[in-house]
Homo-oligomer: A and B are copies of this chain.
Amino acid sequence: MRYTRVSVGGRAVWGRVGEEDIELLSESPLECDPDVIGTVARATAVWLPPVVPPVFYAVGYNYPRHIAHAGATTPDRPEVGYRANNALTGHGSPIVKPVEVEGRFEAEPELVAVIGRPVRHATYEEARKSVFGWTIGNDVSARTWQHRDRTFWRSKNSDTFKPMGPWIETDVDALAQTTTLRVNGAERASFPTGDMVYDPFDHIVEITRHITLHPGDVLWMGAESTCQIEPGDTVDVEISGIGVLSNPVQLEGNRA
C-alpha cells in the first residue's frame, strides 16, 4: 500500500494512493484501519509531507563512500541527530533558496523509515516489525552555513529544506533498491540504497536502548552522494520500488 497526506480545502487529509486516484481516509493508517471518505485525482492532488513526525531523526555519516569522501571516520556505533518539522515540504512543492545563501546549495537523496508502533528496547527483529513503511527525503543543505554555524539550525532546517514523499510504501524491501538523484532529468548520482554502515534496524535497536520511538517518527538514513542545485532546477530523488520525490527550486521572493 501507498499512504500519503494531501491538502483538501486547506486541510491535511490522509490518503491511499492508487494508479489514477487517491482515496481519502478518515484518519491515520498508522494506528488504525481508517474508512474511505472520498477521492481526489492524483493529477490534481496537492501533496503534503506524508507524515509530520513527533520526532524527526536523521543519520549523518552512514554510507562508506560518503564517509571516505568527507575524510570522516566510520562511526563505531549507530548515531542520530535531528531535523525540524518546519522544514518539511511535500512532493511538487518548491525548495526555496534564501537570498543570503552563498556557496554550495545541495540535494542529498535519502531513504526514510516511518515508525508504526511504540518501540523501546527493540531486538533487531522487533525493529524490523516497528517500521510501518518507507518514503523518500531530500536533505537540502546550505554548506557555508553548515560549516560556519554551531548547529544545523538554518543550514539544514530553513523552511522548505526537507522535501519528503511522495508517499509511504508499505510493501517493499527498501534495502534492496537503488537510489537515484536527477537534476532537470539528468542523472547526478546513483547508489545501492542498502549500502549502509548501519541499516535502519541497527539504528532502531541502538536508539531504543534509551529512547521510545513513537508512531509517525521518521528516521532519515543519510546519503551517499550529493549534488549542487540552483533556482530554476527541478530535483528528483527516486528510490526504485518506492517512487520519485520531485521538487522545483526557487530563489526566495522569486518564482524563478
Listed in ascending order, the chain A residues whose CB lies under 8 Å from chain B are 52, 54-55, 60, 75, 79-82, 84-87, 98, 100, 120, 149-151, 153-154, 157-159, 207, 209-214
CA distance A98 to B209 in the complex (A): 9
User: Which secondary structure dominates where chain A touches chain B?
Assistant: loop
Nearest-CB distance from A215 to chain B (Å)?
12
B86 touches A214 (CB 8 A): yes
**A214 to chain B: which residues have CB within 8 Å?**
86
Q: Is the CB of B211 within 8 A of A79?
A: no
B79-A151 in contact (CB<8A): yes
Which residue of the partner chain B has the closest CB to A154? B210
- Would A79 and B149 count as touching, CB distance under 8 A? yes
Q: Are B157 and A86 in contact (CB under 8 A)?
A: no
CB–CB A159/B82 < 8 A: no
> Is A98 touching B153 in the complex (CB atoms < 8 A)?
no
Given A54-B85, A85-B54, is A153 in contact with B80 using a C-beta cutoff of 8 Å?
Answer: yes
B86 touches A153 (CB 8 A): no
Residues of chain B lying within 8 A (CB to CB) of residue A150:
60, 75, 79, 81
Q: Given A79-B149, A149-B79, answer yes or no on A154-B85 (Cβ-Cβ < 8 Å).
A: no
Could you list 13 examples of A-B contacts with CB < 8 Å?
A: A60-B151, A79-B149, A79-B150, A80-B153, A81-B153, A82-B82, A82-B84, A84-B211, A87-B211, A153-B207, A157-B211, A158-B211, A159-B210
Cα A149 to Cα B214 with chains together (Å): 23
Closest Cβ–Cβ distance, residue A12 to chain B (whole Å) = 13
Having A60-B151, A82-B151, A159-B211, one finds 4 other A-B pairs with CB under 8 Å, namely: A81-B153, A82-B84, A98-B210, A154-B211
- Tell me which residues across on chain B come within 8 A of A81, comparing CB atoms: 150-151, 153
In the bound assembly, the distance between CA atoms of A54 and B150 in angstroms comes to 22
What residue in chain B is nearest A82 (Cβ atoms)? B82
Whether B86 and A54, one on each chain, are in contact in the complex, defined by CB atoms closer than 8 angstroms, is yes
Residue of B nearest to A158 (CB): B210
Q: How far is the CB of A45 from chain B (nearest CB, A)?
A: 23
**Contact partners of A159 in chain B: CB under 8 A:** 120, 210-212
- In the bound complex, residues from chain B placing their C-beta under 8 Å from that of A86 are 54-55, 211-214
Do B98 and A84 touch across chains, with their CB atoms under 8 A apart?
no
Contact assessment for A151 and B80 in the assembled complex, using a CB-CB cutoff below 8 Å = yes
A58–chain B nearest beta-carbon distance, Å:
9
- On whether the beta carbons of B84 and A55 are closer than 8 Å, the reply is yes
A78's nearest neighbour on chain B, judged by CB, is B153
